[in-house]
Structure 1
């Protein structure tokens, strides 16, 4: 019998930059294997947790005999567009990544696995496939608990919903209880805010570039290794863009931009997404940080500082550093890749605070 004092062992599949691993490591888990096919993301993972246990490549090429037995498997297989597949067959080629996740669970025999994904995963055929495999297939000895968790309810300064599935063969493990709530109702702590994460960072970054440095990893040369402060760089928007930003108050969006400043496609489309060209609020969580947070037309990514009297406005999108902080990535985390590659890693990561909440919760059951 392993004692609770030992560090539970961990495999992270589709690991990305390692946001989920970081949450688990912070709660005392020991990563012994990770898999990621994107070079820049795998390099970031390696720079933070070690190159020797990162399998950089297609998960399908990871030989079953090489898969170690561990306490916990985590990860979120990318979904193939959530088509409503007629075939619920685990061997359907479109379900390859699911099949690979299940293959690893079968080989690693974890006590618990955690699968995370986008909210609409719960309506997908892939989710149905998972239920079928738990009912009478590859993972039939596991009891599943599942639902959609909001990152803000677990101390993350971001309203990011994620589908979470916990599979356990040591007795049913429910989803963790929320620790925070909007307005701090029901005796819970109030939601964390954008202010708590990015206030005090330079409003006007003094560079638009990453430092010029490269590193060797997996026998390849990649950009990096960058410290978190290196990620606080700006952009050079056009005058027209600055005029648009200036007209958007906190919580506002494209409908606040005067008609003469709008591109034709927005002038003619009076309905649709309201959060694009949006400005964050200081005293609320951000909306979901996606992979293109550096483009204001993609969401609510303008810096929250704006006053009605126009005395103090910060008319820019959030920096990579600010986005990573809203993802709860700690200050000592380091990064590899180009600006776009790092943005993708930040947007795809599981918020570290949500991962830590899951890790703490599982620890009580292991």
Structure 2
């Protein structure tokens, strides 16, 4: 028996959006994800029986069930050509599939999630045109760029959210948090890295995932892993660790002695300042991307750092105390918590596959806020 509001999750990834909606009383009846490792992670947490691990175009229209809600984040490439006569343009395909599912399932509400710049793209204008006189003409659209930190996520992650409704206009969810709320106000302060990753072992014992395999979709895959299973460290070179030791919270490559930097950075005195950056304990993280485990990709060094008591005379560089600083990138487990996954969420795949799943996911707090906003219209 159905216990929740039936929903479909397209381009479902590892289940970040579904996780948030399930927490608010929705029930997934179909999820489609082409990346088999991500689909397996979804299945490990939400059940395998309703998951299609493959090409969305291969799902027959006759087999698309009716649902009251569809959520999903189709890639934005190609949508600008949606109205052209070349129906076989491969760049259009994934957006066409999203619209095909909306047409077949006839949801009262759909939610599109995409990168922040989507709201200023030609693709977005075509989406508005579809609602004006095309496949989505029954739906009234509202949209905004939302910051996940405003909804209780310890991460500054901006995403374009579009809500389409044929049961009345649905406004965007009201923020529950802000950077510096007034005393006695209704909003809470942004959640911070301290809130979500403090207290974890700073020197994980392992550099690898545990030896484990499980079968999903008739295929053997690494996993299932959860919690401390994915709290493993990397093995950077000693020179790399020395570089990290000079980076204070909020700092980056410009804090590293020039002689320690690769030539490509040493000869670039400005720009890309967050490379090899370190997070701050009392602030949210920057956006968690798919390669958060690489310091050269952004501000992903662990926030724990204290300056050494002694330093070389006349040196402009300040090194961290080796006993009280953590000179490594955040772990997969820490990244998952920053993305607001439950601490017991289950993961399937290799280290790189799991990192990709984490970085591509919709944070749970943002998904829950959207679910709470939509739910009264479907009660």
Tell me the TM-score range normalised by the shorter chain: over 0.9
CA RMSD of aligned residues (A): 1.5
Q: Aligned match of 1:24 in 10, 21, 25?
A: 21
Distance 1:332 1:72 in 2: 27
Q: Aligned match of 1:117 in 114, 129, 146?
A: 114
Deviations 1:50-85 (A, max 9, x none): 111001111111111100111110010122288xx5
Give structure 1 regions of 4+ aligned residues with deviation exceeding 4 angstroms. Answer: 85-88
* Equivalence for 1:337: 349
Quote how far apart the aligned CAs of 1:6 are: 5.5
* Equivalence for 2:313: none
Q: Structure 1, unaligned stretches of length 5 or more? A: none
Distance 1:247 1:87 in 2: 50
* Equivalence for 2:317: none
Q: For residues 132 and 230 of structure 1, do their structure 2 counterparts lie closer, same or farther at Cα, with a shift above 3 Å needed?
A: same
Is 1:292 the counterpart of 2:291? The answer is yes
Quote how far apart the aligned CAs of 1:331 are: 1.5
* Equivalence for 1:45: 42
Q: Aligned match of 1:318 in 315, 330, 342?
A: 330
* TM-score (norm: length of structure 1): 0.96
Distance 1:290 1:52 in 2: 29
* Equivalence for 1:131: 128
Distance 1:88 1:180 in 2: 40
Distance 1:233 1:45 in 2: 22
Quote how far apart the aligned CAs of 1:364 are: 2.3
Deviations 1:199-254 (A, max 9, x none): 00000000000011111111111111111220100011101100110000000011
Quote how far apart the aligned CAs of 1:354 are: 0.7
Distance 1:217 1:6 in 2: 25
Deviations 1:157-199 (A, max 9, x none): 0000000000000000011111100012464110000000000
Please give the residue correspondences for 1:166-245 in structure 2 after superposition, counting only pairs within 5 Å: 166-185=163-182, 187-245=186-244
Q: Aligned match of 1:70 in 52, 67, 70?
A: 67
Distance 2:107 2:338 in 1: 31
Please give the residue correspondences for 1:35-114 in structure 2 after superposition, counting only pairs within 5 Å: 35-80=32-77, 85=80, 88-89=83-84, 91=87, 92-114=89-111
Tell me if structure 2 keeps the 8 A contact 1:145–1:173: yes
Quote how far apart the aligned CAs of 1:285 are: 0.2
Quote how far apart the aligned CAs of 1:363 are: 1.1
Distance 1:190 1:206 in 2: 34
Distance 1:290 1:87 in 2: 28
Tell me if structure 2 keeps the 8 A contact 1:296–1:302: yes
Quote how far apart the aligned CAs of 1:93 are: 3.0
Q: For residues 262 and 81 of structure 1, do their structure 2 counterparts lie closer, same or farther at Cα, with a shift above 3 Å needed?
A: farther
* Equivalence for 1:354: 366
Distance 1:362 1:40 in 2: 30
Q: Bigger radius of gyration, 1 or 2?
A: 2
Tell me if structure 1 keeps the 8 A contact 2:150–2:190: yes
Tell me if structure 2 keeps the 8 A contact 1:89–1:129: no
Tell me if structure 1 keeps the 8 A contact 2:17–2:363: yes
Tell me if structure 2 keeps the 8 A contact 1:36–1:58: yes
Is 1:256 the counterpart of 2:255? The answer is yes
Distance 2:344 2:206 in 1: 21
Is 1:364 the counterpart of 2:376? The answer is yes
Distance 1:110 1:151 in 2: 25
Distance 1:166 1:253 in 2: 38
* Equivalence for 1:306: 305
Distance 2:209 2:230 in 1: 7
